Amino acid sequence: MIEILSIGSGLSIQDRGRAGWRRFGVPAGGAMDARSMALANALLCNPSDTPVLEVAQQG
């Protein structure tokens, strides 16, 4: 378990998104790189839908 005390502007918690909710006005969302999310969860033996920390960088 990780306790996040504060985050910067480029850090977010992401899951696989909300498929099937678009008709209600809810965007799909989810991690920008679903493949890396799946790989990170596999490496840690987590279920594939476990949320991850995503870092956005300006470049």
Query: What pLDDT was estimated at residue 4?
Result: 80
| pTM for the full predicted model | 0.72
Of 33, 35, 37, nearest to 51 by C-alpha is 37
- pLDDT at site 44: 95
Domain total of the chain: 1
Do 28 and 19 contact (CB within 8 A), yes or no? yes
Residue 1 lies in a domain: no
Range of the domain at 33: 11-55
User: DSSP alpha helices (H): ranges in the chain?
Assistant: 34-43
Backbone angles phi, psi at 16, to 5 degrees: -80, 0
Model confidence at 50, pLDDT cuts 50, 70, 90, reads very high
CA distance 19 to 12: 19
pLDDT tens digits for range 4-49: 888 778 888 899 988 888 899 988 889 999 999 999 999 999 998 8
Give Cβ neighbours of residue 38 (< 8 Å, ≥ 6 apart): 48
Does residue 6 lie within any of the structural domains? no
3 domain-assigned = no
